[in-house]
Amino acid sequence: MKRYALTGFAIWAFATIALRLGGQYLFRVNAVVLLIMSLPVMIAVAVAVLRDAEQRALAAIALVAPGMLLDTVSSIWFPRVFPNIRADAAGPFGGWLLFCNIVVLLTAVTYAPRDASRV
Which residues are CB-contacts of 39 (< 8 A; sequence separation ≥ 6)?
103
In which element (H, E) is residue 4 found? helix 2-26
Q: Give me the pLDDT at residue 115, please.
A: 60
b/e string for 52-84 if b means 16 or more Cβ within 10 A?
ebeebeebbbbbbbbbeeebeebeeebeebbee
Mean pLDDT of the chain, nearest integer: 92
pTM of the model: 0.86
76 phi-psi bin (left φ>0, alpha ψ -120 to 50, beta other)? alpha
